[in-house]
């Protein structure tokens, strides 16, 4: 008959009240576990078996293999690690998910060979907030230039080293001044790199001012793209050829109104085309012509215009030339005219017709050997001005109408002689 070794045994309650000798072993018939005693502790120390359920307190597990899951005794009932005993690396499988919250409403999901997805998994009740990732600093006294949070982009494993492994880009939230109960002014700083650690190339201030700090400082929009405001989203258009257009059609009545207003001067390197009125709205305004601006037309307040050749050298008169673009001058064609009129005269009718004029008129067909021209002097009486006298270029004579009277006066204005009915002199 084989020898059978039996230990003291009893129910869980009986074991709990039993104090065994040092090294004595008892058996719990309800928990199916052994207990080791030390001679003084009631109940001894239960041992864990493969088929038993037990609570381990202050036990060290070396390379444990978990077949299913590690579950706390209750929601929010246990922590992994502590402030003084932290875990080292954590390895999770492809597609693994870290779920947070009692409803697992926020998740961090691994995308194999790509990265992570941060998601607010709630389908209702989040008021359209979406996933919120907040960067906070523990600094208790934020001063100007302090960074509240930073996102950095880097390729630390690049084989070429040196510049290539430095931080290549970044986005920072930087305080613009000392924080206070009434101030948290912060800018967003955008950093990029070319051959150095990333430095700020663009910044968005607390008041919405976007500043470009890079060496080129350019804003590029797509061909035929637009720039606008909240109320006029396509206010400014830029074509593929760089042509800038303004969509507003606001009329201009002074220097501060219109579709485009400029507070200072404007420089234009080529031609300027104006579709409607051009106003110089300051007294004594000057139009300057020429690379040296030597020819000027100056406004004389409440009087008119002054034409001037501003060069101070000898024999530099002002010359005003009236030209026609006609390519086949025939008899009686007008080369140019100066007309005098009072178009705003209140009595109307004859009063607003051309009252006088001086015209250069071809006497015949122009040719390679002829450009005979008369100067016609026209005056009105109760009519549009008609010719009353002329200087004929082909003869050099002065002609008056048959019923004209020629008065010859001295320098004081006294009439020396009256000549009636002379057609030519």
- Whole-number Å distance between alpha carbons of 212 and 202: 4
CB of 273 within 8 A of CB of 279?
Answer: no
Helix (H, G, I), strand (E, B) or coil at 85: coil
Q: pLDDT at position 418, please? A: 67
Q: What is the DSSP string of 244-287?
A: EEE------SSTT-SSS--SS----SS----SS-----STT-EE
Q: pLDDT at position 419, please? A: 66
Say which range, 45-49, 311-315, 335-339, has the weakest mean pLDDT.
45-49
More confident call, 46 vs 202: 202
The mean pLDDT of 330-339, rounded to a whole number, is 97
Q: How confident is the model at residue 2 (pLDDT cuts 50, 70, 90)?
A: confident
Cα torsion angle, 384, 390, 392, 395, sign: positive
The mean pLDDT of 270-291, rounded to a whole number, is 93
Burial 70-82 (b: 16+ CB within 10 A, else e): eeeeeeeeeeeee
Q: What is the largest CA-CA distance in the chain?
A: 179
Q: pLDDT at position 421, please? A: 54
Backbone dihedral region for residue 175 (phi beyond 0: left; psi -120 to 50: alpha; all else: beta): beta
- With a CB cutoff of 8 Å and minimum separation 6, the contacts of 225 are 237, 238
Q: pLDDT at position 96, please? A: 97
Q: pLDDT at position 206, please? A: 96
Q: How confident is the model at residue 413 (pLDDT cuts 50, 70, 90)?
A: confident
Read off φ and ψ for residue 127, nearest 5 degrees: 55, 35
- Whole-number Å distance between alpha carbons of 342 and 353: 7
- Whole-number Å distance between alpha carbons of 4 and 101: 55
- Whole-number Å distance between alpha carbons of 87 and 64: 14
| pTM given for the model | 0.64
Q: pLDDT at position 365, please? A: 96
The mean pLDDT of 335-350, rounded to a whole number, is 95
Q: Determine the distance from the C-alpha atom of residue 292 to the mean position of all C-alpha atoms in its chain, rounded to a whole number.
A: 38
User: How many helices (H) and strands (E) would you count in the chain?
Assistant: 1, 25
Helix (H, G, I), strand (E, B) or coil at 79: coil
Q: Is the pLDDT of residue 172 over 60?
A: yes
Q: Cβ of 154: how many Cβ atoms within 10 Å?
A: 16
Cα torsion angle, 272, 276, 280, 286, sign: positive
More confident call, 73 vs 93: 93
Say which range, 138-142, 148-152, 249-253, has the weakest mean pLDDT.
249-253
Average pLDDT in the chain: 90
**15 membership: H or E segment, kind and range:** helix 12-16
Q: Is the pLDDT of residue 256 over 80?
A: yes
24-70, pLDDT tens digit by residue? 999 999 888 899 999 999 999 988 776 666 677 777 888 888 888 88
Q: Determine what percent of the chain is predicted with pLDDT higher than 90.
A: 69
- Whole-number Å distance between alpha carbons of 45 and 54: 12
Q: Determine what percent of the chain is predicted with pLDDT higher than 70.
A: 93
Q: Which is nearest to 198 in space by CA: 243, 154, 261?
A: 154
How many CA atoms does the CB half-sphere of 225 hold within 13 Å?
A: 6
């Amino acid at each position: 008959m084989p020898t059978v070794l039996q230990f003291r045994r009893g129910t869980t309650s009986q074991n709990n009240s039993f104090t065994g000798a040092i090294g004595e072993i008892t058996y719990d018939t309800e928990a199916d576990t052994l207990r080791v005693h030390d001679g003084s502790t009631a109940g001894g120390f239960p041992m864990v078996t493969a088929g038993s359920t037990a609570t381990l307190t202050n036990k060290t597990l070396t390379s444990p293999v978990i077949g299913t899951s590690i579950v706390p005794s209750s929601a929010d009932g246990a922590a992994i690690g502590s402030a003084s005993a932290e875990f080292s690396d954590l390895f999770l499988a492809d597609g693994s998910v870290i779920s947070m919250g009692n409803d697992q409403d926020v998740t961090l999901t691994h995308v194999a060979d790509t990265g992570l997805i941060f998601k607010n998994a709630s389908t209702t009740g989040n008021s359209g907030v979406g996933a919120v990732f907040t960067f906070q600093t523990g600094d208790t006294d934020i001063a100007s230039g302090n960074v509240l949070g930073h996102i950095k982009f880097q390729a630390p494993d690049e084989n070429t080293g040196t510049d290539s492994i430095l931080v290549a880009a970044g986005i920072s939230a930087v305080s613009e001044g000392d924080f206070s109960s009434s101030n948290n002014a912060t800018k967003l700083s955008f950093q990029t790199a070319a051959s150095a650690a990333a430095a700020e190339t663009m910044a968005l201030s607390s008041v919405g001012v976007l500043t470009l700090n890079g060496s080129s400082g350019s804003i590029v929009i797509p061909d035929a793209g637009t720039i606008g405001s909240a109320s006029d989203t396509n206010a400014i258009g830029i074509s593929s050829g760089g042509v800038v257009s303004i969509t507003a059609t606001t009329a201009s009545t002074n220097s501060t109104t219109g579709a485009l207003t400029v507070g200072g001067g404007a420089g234009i390197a080529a031609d300027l085309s104006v579709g409607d009125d051009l106003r110089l709205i300051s007294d004594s305004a000057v139009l300057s012509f020429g690379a040296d601006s030597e020819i000027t037309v100056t406004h004389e307040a409440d009087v008119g215009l002054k034409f001037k050749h501003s060069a101070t050298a000898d024999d530099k008169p002002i010359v005003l030339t009236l030209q026609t673009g006609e390519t086949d001058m025939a008899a009686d064609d007008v080369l140019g005219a100066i007309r005098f009129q009072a178009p705003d005269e209140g009595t109307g009718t004859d009063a607003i017709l051309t009252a006088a004029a001086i015209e250069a008129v071809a006497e015949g067909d122009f040719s390679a050997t002829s450009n005979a021209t008369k100067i016609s002097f026209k005056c009105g009486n109760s009519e549009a001005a008609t010719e009353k006298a002329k200087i004929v270029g082909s003869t050099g004579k002065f002609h008056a109408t048959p019923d004209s009277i020629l008065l010859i006066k001295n320098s004081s204005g006294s009439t020396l002689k009256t000549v009636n009915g002379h057609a030519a002199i």
